[in-house]
Structure 1
Amino acid sequence: MKFRPLHDRVVIRRLTAEEKSKGGIIIPDTVQEKPQEGEVVAVGPGAFNDAGVVTPLQVKAGDRVLFGKWSGNEVKIDGEELLIMKESDLMGVIEGAAAVRDKAA
Protein backbone atom coordinates (compact mmCIF):
# COMPACT_ATOMS: atom_id res chain seq x y z
CA MET A 1 0.00 0.00 0.00
CA LYS A 2 1.36 3.41 -0.92
CA PHE A 3 -0.57 5.55 1.55
CA ARG A 4 0.82 7.25 4.65
CA PRO A 5 -1.67 8.90 7.02
CA LEU A 6 -0.86 12.33 8.42
CA HIS A 7 -0.75 13.56 12.02
CA ASP A 8 -2.80 11.41 14.44
CA ARG A 9 -4.75 9.45 11.83
CA VAL A 10 -4.76 5.67 11.50
CA VAL A 11 -5.76 3.38 8.62
CA ILE A 12 -7.84 0.37 9.67
CA ARG A 13 -8.93 -2.79 7.86
CA ARG A 14 -12.27 -4.06 9.21
CA LEU A 15 -12.25 -7.67 10.32
CA THR A 16 -14.75 -9.89 8.53
CA ALA A 17 -18.11 -10.38 10.20
CA GLU A 18 -19.21 -13.76 11.44
CA GLU A 19 -21.41 -15.46 8.85
CA LYS A 20 -23.07 -17.78 11.38
CA SER A 21 -24.78 -17.03 14.66
CA LYS A 22 -23.78 -18.86 17.84
CA GLY A 23 -26.66 -21.27 17.20
CA GLY A 24 -25.35 -22.11 13.71
CA ILE A 25 -27.83 -20.03 11.70
CA ILE A 26 -26.28 -18.50 8.57
CA ILE A 27 -26.69 -14.71 8.49
CA PRO A 28 -27.10 -13.17 4.99
CA ASP A 29 -24.84 -10.26 3.98
CA THR A 30 -27.78 -7.85 3.77
CA VAL A 31 -28.58 -8.25 7.49
CA GLN A 32 -25.04 -8.43 8.89
CA GLU A 33 -23.83 -5.47 10.90
CA LYS A 34 -20.45 -4.02 10.04
CA PRO A 35 -17.86 -5.21 12.54
CA GLN A 36 -16.51 -2.70 15.03
CA GLU A 37 -13.19 -4.50 15.28
CA GLY A 38 -10.28 -4.03 12.93
CA GLU A 39 -6.56 -4.27 12.32
CA VAL A 40 -4.37 -1.17 12.14
CA VAL A 41 -2.69 -1.06 8.72
CA ALA A 42 -0.77 2.24 9.00
CA VAL A 43 -0.36 5.11 11.47
CA GLY A 44 0.66 8.74 11.16
CA PRO A 45 3.66 10.22 12.99
CA GLY A 46 1.55 11.77 15.76
CA ALA A 47 -0.23 14.98 16.74
CA PHE A 48 1.36 18.27 17.71
CA ASN A 49 0.71 19.32 21.31
CA ASP A 50 0.39 22.94 22.55
CA ALA A 51 4.18 23.27 22.81
CA GLY A 52 4.60 22.24 19.16
CA VAL A 53 6.12 18.85 20.00
CA VAL A 54 4.91 15.74 18.17
CA THR A 55 3.19 13.28 20.51
CA PRO A 56 3.57 9.76 19.07
CA LEU A 57 0.52 7.51 18.71
CA GLN A 58 -0.20 4.67 21.12
CA VAL A 59 -1.20 2.19 18.41
CA LYS A 60 1.01 0.60 15.77
CA ALA A 61 0.49 -1.35 12.57
CA GLY A 62 -0.80 -4.85 13.33
CA ASP A 63 -2.73 -3.93 16.50
CA ARG A 64 -6.33 -5.15 16.76
CA VAL A 65 -8.56 -2.29 17.82
CA LEU A 66 -12.17 -1.58 18.71
CA PHE A 67 -13.89 1.51 17.30
CA GLY A 68 -17.34 3.10 17.21
CA LYS A 69 -20.01 1.95 14.78
CA TRP A 70 -20.00 5.24 12.85
CA SER A 71 -16.32 6.16 13.32
CA GLY A 72 -13.98 7.04 10.49
CA ASN A 73 -14.26 7.63 6.77
CA GLU A 74 -14.50 4.70 4.40
CA VAL A 75 -12.04 4.87 1.49
CA LYS A 76 -10.91 2.50 -1.23
CA ILE A 77 -7.13 2.21 -1.63
CA ASP A 78 -5.62 -0.26 -4.12
CA GLY A 79 -9.07 -1.88 -4.45
CA GLU A 80 -9.37 -2.55 -0.71
CA GLU A 81 -11.99 -0.91 1.50
CA LEU A 82 -10.34 0.71 4.52
CA LEU A 83 -11.25 3.17 7.28
CA ILE A 84 -9.31 6.32 8.12
CA MET A 85 -9.91 7.86 11.53
CA LYS A 86 -8.19 9.80 14.27
CA GLU A 87 -6.59 7.84 17.07
CA SER A 88 -9.00 9.49 19.52
CA ASP A 89 -11.89 7.69 17.74
CA LEU A 90 -10.46 4.33 18.79
CA MET A 91 -11.91 2.80 21.95
CA GLY A 92 -8.97 0.55 22.72
CA VAL A 93 -6.52 -2.14 21.69
CA ILE A 94 -7.61 -5.78 21.97
CA GLU A 95 -4.80 -7.70 23.63
CA GLY A 96 -4.22 -11.36 22.80
CA ALA A 97 -7.31 -11.67 20.57
CA ALA A 98 -5.42 -13.35 17.71
CA ALA A 99 -4.16 -16.17 19.92
CA VAL A 100 -7.62 -16.82 21.40
CA ARG A 101 -9.32 -16.96 17.96
CA ASP A 102 -6.63 -19.23 16.47
CA LYS A 103 -7.11 -21.79 19.28
CA ALA A 104 -10.89 -21.73 18.87
CA ALA A 105 -10.69 -22.50 15.13
Structure 2
Amino acid sequence: MKPTITIEYCPKCNWMLRAAYMAQELLTTFSEDVYGITLQPSETPGKYNIRIDEVVLFDRKEQGRFPEIKELKQLVRDVINPQKNLGHSDRNVT
Protein backbone atom coordinates (compact mmCIF):
# COMPACT_ATOMS: atom_id res chain seq x y z
CA MET A 1 0.00 0.00 0.00
CA LYS A 2 1.19 3.50 -0.81
CA PRO A 3 2.14 5.73 2.13
CA THR A 4 0.14 8.67 3.41
CA ILE A 5 1.85 11.96 4.20
CA THR A 6 0.42 13.98 7.09
CA ILE A 7 1.19 17.64 7.68
CA GLU A 8 0.16 18.58 11.20
CA TYR A 9 0.03 22.32 11.76
CA CYS A 10 -1.04 24.84 14.39
CA PRO A 11 -4.18 26.65 13.17
CA LYS A 12 -3.80 29.33 15.85
CA CYS A 13 -0.39 30.21 14.34
CA ASN A 14 -2.06 30.62 10.91
CA TRP A 15 0.11 27.90 9.35
CA MET A 16 -2.68 26.30 7.30
CA LEU A 17 -1.65 28.07 4.07
CA ARG A 18 1.96 26.97 4.55
CA ALA A 19 0.76 23.39 5.08
CA ALA A 20 -1.48 23.56 2.00
CA TYR A 21 1.38 24.94 -0.11
CA MET A 22 3.69 22.15 1.00
CA ALA A 23 0.98 19.57 0.31
CA GLN A 24 0.51 20.99 -3.20
CA GLU A 25 4.26 20.82 -3.90
CA LEU A 26 4.49 17.25 -2.62
CA LEU A 27 1.45 16.10 -4.61
CA THR A 28 2.85 17.68 -7.75
CA THR A 29 6.06 15.68 -7.35
CA PHE A 30 4.81 12.45 -5.74
CA SER A 31 1.24 12.00 -7.01
CA GLU A 32 1.98 8.47 -8.24
CA ASP A 33 3.99 7.49 -5.16
CA VAL A 34 1.60 8.35 -2.32
CA TYR A 35 -1.91 7.39 -1.31
CA GLY A 36 -2.61 10.97 -0.31
CA ILE A 37 -1.70 13.93 1.87
CA THR A 38 -3.62 14.86 4.98
CA LEU A 39 -3.68 18.33 6.53
CA GLN A 40 -4.24 17.87 10.25
CA PRO A 41 -4.95 20.84 12.54
CA SER A 42 -3.05 20.34 15.79
CA GLU A 43 -4.40 20.95 19.26
CA THR A 44 -0.82 21.61 20.42
CA PRO A 45 0.16 25.28 20.03
CA GLY A 46 3.12 25.88 17.72
CA LYS A 47 3.16 22.36 16.32
CA TYR A 48 4.21 21.78 12.72
CA ASN A 49 5.46 18.39 11.67
CA ILE A 50 5.45 16.23 8.58
CA ARG A 51 5.03 12.47 8.78
CA ILE A 52 4.96 9.57 6.38
CA ASP A 53 2.52 7.16 7.97
CA GLU A 54 3.74 7.26 11.60
CA VAL A 55 7.39 8.22 10.92
CA VAL A 56 8.20 11.89 11.61
CA LEU A 57 10.24 13.36 8.75
CA PHE A 58 10.43 16.91 9.96
CA ASP A 59 9.52 18.62 13.23
CA ARG A 60 9.63 22.41 13.36
CA LYS A 61 10.34 22.53 17.09
CA GLU A 62 13.25 20.08 16.86
CA GLN A 63 14.76 21.83 13.83
CA GLY A 64 13.98 25.38 14.96
CA ARG A 65 12.68 26.24 11.49
CA PHE A 66 10.38 25.20 8.67
CA PRO A 67 11.71 22.93 5.92
CA GLU A 68 12.59 24.34 2.52
CA ILE A 69 10.53 22.73 -0.26
CA LYS A 70 13.63 21.32 -1.93
CA GLU A 71 14.74 19.75 1.36
CA LEU A 72 11.27 18.38 2.06
CA LYS A 73 11.03 16.75 -1.35
CA GLN A 74 14.38 15.07 -0.79
CA LEU A 75 13.33 13.78 2.63
CA VAL A 76 10.09 12.36 1.22
CA ARG A 77 11.80 10.88 -1.83
CA ASP A 78 14.46 9.17 0.30
CA VAL A 79 11.70 7.32 2.18
CA ILE A 80 9.10 6.50 -0.48
CA ASN A 81 11.05 6.26 -3.76
CA PRO A 82 14.85 6.58 -3.37
CA GLN A 83 15.44 6.11 -7.12
CA LYS A 84 13.21 9.04 -8.11
CA ASN A 85 15.03 11.88 -9.84
CA LEU A 86 13.89 15.25 -8.53
CA GLY A 87 15.53 17.22 -11.32
CA HIS A 88 16.49 20.72 -10.15
CA SER A 89 15.28 19.90 -6.61
CA ASP A 90 17.89 17.19 -6.17
CA ARG A 91 20.54 17.43 -3.42
CA ASN A 92 22.84 20.30 -2.42
CA VAL A 93 20.69 21.40 0.55
CA THR A 94 22.67 22.87 3.42
Structure with more helix by fraction: 2
TM-score by length of 2: 0.24
TM-score by length of 1: 0.22
Q: Which has the larger radius of gyration?
A: 1
